[in-house]
Structure 1
């Protein structure tokens, strides 16, 4: 190639076209295009031959050993199948099980039985955890230490370094590294560090947060403060009292909420003193009645203790202030104030002037916040009461929160009674707080209610949410009891057209899924 033609000349001619630009030294005419390519090939070899080889990168340290026992071969094949289905479309399934929803259960069982993940499945496990945050804790626990080793080599999997169980916690023998991560790390790393440390050493986590509290941004202070919900105790009160004077209203509100969850705190006592002046028993009538006199103002002291002065749209100021005072007051303050009644007796008292809904809703929030099962039972009432789902009763969202304070068996028994009396139309939210697999009584109540809905001739997709829960939550041993529901029923004159066939398909899918879950459990034994 003539010395006057450079690599840049060749590139320019190739981009513009040889009819517009001919590099120096190349023949004009029809052969110029071929000559350009030949010259570029020679120049490419020449340029590469002048490169010096780079230094080889350090070989990565070997992956750590996983001491857990390997999966049985059948379970390993099942895992590969479930992981392959994570990227599949959801579409119409017909009678086929939804494998996407079975992976969380499979992982939970494998973790309970202490198996190690097959090395060849780790990339797919990490990809699944990246795409579904609900899978991350179980998937990363199952993937084990080798997943963290892989995550350091692939930026797409770096989330695992922050969210894997214990990954945010440095060696307790190296406090300088803990301090360095806290002072210099990314926000997500600092949140992971604080959350991990809080679950292992609550006092050390609080002291770490205190060391930089005044220099943190308001939105960061709010996130960090939320970590104190873990292992919250009386020793956190001085720090939270200090946070009541924070310049951020959201931080003050969260600090007040945490303090009100400590019935022995000074804030709880202040709130009780305010709340009891608003609620009393009126004995002047034939029946003792609770009378309510809501606050007339929200003063500065109430604001400091977390009472928001401005109500949301559609709420009156006084009822808004009353609800906040009552939900933050210790529930133990009410029996002495309201005639020595038990929680059941207090809830049964009539409330004057239409204040019952506001007062009971505030007590519901207090029972959930203070984890008070006795008050939760009183506010829930009997699941078989005619008014359990009707107007004026505690809302279903509030009932779901109250159920969370009860032990799992009692919770399931209450929901089973509710479904037997009121059916499934309002039960979806309540079923979501029940232990999996469902107890035998709860499973029977759900299946019987589905059968009643089928016989009534309604379409099954009206109950698709409950049917989906049943596929994941019914005990697999119930599959045999459902065989009688697989046939297409005779359609009533008033039934929705084709509903029987749709119900048969839905029950077939339910039975197929239960049998698949049973096989999965057997493979993991």
Structure 2
């Protein structure tokens, strides 16, 4: 080491100030120094004792799923290697964004049960590492070999965290002793995965397993375990959830109350119905029936035990905050009997006195979403062509989107198509995100027609870039041929934005190209294997 340090010192000081110790008079000092360093390097490396060989990793597990067709495997490689960019001036150009098609490709491949090509796994894991929205579909497609690779590369450890139990093999349904041992001795992630898997196939057994150790679990763990009861929630869970209402943790109590309120026949739902019914009634003293609201004067201990949060958020009044929680948790079946035998549509149409309509209808919206009540959701959404885009009950786009989630796919698409036909695309982006892919024929036509109207108005397409991006991913590929007429650059109106027609033609060209590419992707996945 001393000789090596001398060489380093000489190199730092310079050979003019400190000549090397070797070399003849005819050799230049810098070359002599480098020769000496090379000899010293070989000597140091040759003098090291070989380390004990590391244990070889176990072979990668087999993937029994069928292999991808060759054309589909080639397409996957193209999607994974794409680097999205923009044309000069910040424009997207007319070329499809392949990375945005990867989630759809993965969904189609998973639906057909294909295995990922081994050579594509590194790129697939890299893509999932950079985009969390890809991870569930990418890891499902990558299969068990992705977990094997993740144990060998720190950059891919996210795959182990995303896998149930960190990739640990869970005991089978018949292995009662293995289930008990893993629940008693396993790591937290393993226990969460075990409870979720058991809840999916045997809800009562999962609840009994949790009840056996509930008193000894940490508060944050109890909250995570309690959340697993959302799967298969049924009346049999009520006694356990009622006990959880007395838990030491406020978050646990709140979650237990939320789950109980989703069971319309539970005792908590009955108590909430009584409390909410006291606050809301029909006033017939005027010219016509009006819904009268009297918010609760206090939040008593019984209300707090049943999940009502006493302290409102900043800027919110206490009484309106308590009222909203009571109405949200009360079974929706309470109101027809309480409000004169009216249907949900008739109830929503009633005027509400003293400015309580927004608060009351918003609480009914949340109740309809929580209880998955399609009839109330229809009433609160109203007809899509109503003069006010918000409908009679929904107070925001977010509320409308959640209400749409309670409807069947076809009805949801028809409602959004009617909304776009009446109100255009300015507020439709969030609603479109709730519709199944590919969009139904009426919905797809309404979107294209609205885009065409916007083009004819002479505005730039950038205001509709979000909807255009959705259309590229969600329109039925069979619609591509119908869009050919939109590819030409239209004649510009005098009041149109300069060059807008060219931008629109480019955007529609990208849309058509993307639709045809999606059709080719699906055809490749359906190609019979050789």
Question: Mind listing any 5+ residue stretches in structure 1 that lack a counterpart?
Answer: none
- Give the superposition deviation at 1:180: 6.5
**Does residue 246 of structure 1 match 2:247?**
yes
**Does residue 83 of structure 1 match 2:80?**
yes
- Give the superposition deviation at 1:327: 0.3
Alignment CA distance shift 1:390-1:68 (3 Å):
closer
1:292 is aligned to: 293
TM-score (norm 2): 0.89
Instruction: Give distance in 2, aligned partners of 1:187 and 1:387.
Output: 50
Contact 1:384 1:417 in 2 (8 A): yes
Deviations 1:178-236 (A, max 9, x none): 66766666655554444444334434444454455455554444344333322222233
Map 1:420-499; keep pairs closer than 5 Å. Answer: 420-499=421-500
**Does residue 58 of structure 1 match 2:59?**
no
Deviations 1:293-352 (A, max 9, x none): 110111121112111112223322111111100000111111111111121222122222
Alignment CA distance shift 1:242-1:365 (3 Å):
same
Instruction: Give distance in 2, aligned partners of 1:292 and 1:119.
Output: 64
2:343 is aligned to: 342
Alignment CA distance shift 1:38-1:180 (3 Å):
farther
Alignment CA distance shift 1:375-1:168 (3 Å):
farther
1:322 is aligned to: 323
Contact 2:60 2:148 in 1 (8 A): yes
Instruction: Give distance in 2, aligned partners of 1:68 and 1:247.
Output: 48
The residue matched to 1:247 in structure 2 has which SS?
A: coil
Instruction: Give distance in 2, aligned partners of 1:196 and 1:509.
Output: 43
Deviations 1:35-88 (A, max 9, x none): 555444444444433433333333333322222222122111111000101x54
Deviations 1:379-415 (A, max 9, x none): 1111122234379754221111111011101111111
Alignment CA distance shift 1:409-1:122 (3 Å):
same
Deviations 1:395-445 (A, max 9, x none): 221111111011101111111111111111111111110010000011111
2:70 is aligned to: 73
2:354 is aligned to: 353
Alignment CA distance shift 1:287-1:391 (3 Å):
closer
The residue matched to 1:331 in structure 2 has which SS?
A: coil
1:396 is aligned to: 397
The residue matched to 2:333 in structure 1 has which SS?
A: helix
2:367 is aligned to: 366
Alignment CA distance shift 1:186-1:35 (3 Å):
farther
2:123 is aligned to: 124
Instruction: Give distance in 2, aligned partners of 1:465 and 1:6.
Output: 67
Contact 2:295 2:319 in 1 (8 A): yes
1:141 is aligned to: 140
Aligned residue-pair number: 520
Contact 2:362 2:393 in 1 (8 A): no
**Does residue 106 of structure 1 match 2:108?**
no
The residue matched to 1:290 in structure 2 has which SS?
A: strand
The residue matched to 2:282 in structure 1 has which SS?
A: strand
Contact 1:141 1:164 in 2 (8 A): no
TM-score (norm 1): 0.90
Moved more, 230-239 or 452-461: 230-239
Contact 2:394 2:400 in 1 (8 A): no
Alignment CA distance shift 1:13-1:383 (3 Å):
same
Deviations 1:254-281 (A, max 9, x none): 2221221111222211111111111112
Give RMSD over aligned pairs: 2.9
